[in-house]
Amino acid sequence: MIKKTISLTSEGKKELEQELDELIKNRPVIAEKIATARAFGDLSENEEYSSARNEQKMAESRILEIQDILKNAKIIRGGKKDKADLGATISLEMNGRKVEYTLVGPTEANPLEGKISNESPIGKALLGKKTGEEFEFNGKNVKIIDIQ
Which CATH architecture group holds 89-147? Roll (3.10)
C-alpha distances out from residue 42 to 37, 57, 144, Å: 10, 20, 63
> Could you tell me where in the chain the CATH 1.10.287.180 domains are found?
6-75
H/E element holding 93? strand 89-94
| Global confidence as pTM | 0.78
- pLDDT at site 32: 95
CATH class of 6-75: mainly alpha
pLDDT tens column, 87-143: 999 999 998 899 999 999 999 999 999 999 999 999 999 999 999 999 999 999 999
User: In the chain, which residues fall in CATH 3.10.50.30?
Assistant: 89-147
**How many whole angstroms separate alpha carbon 79 and alpha carbon 55?**
41
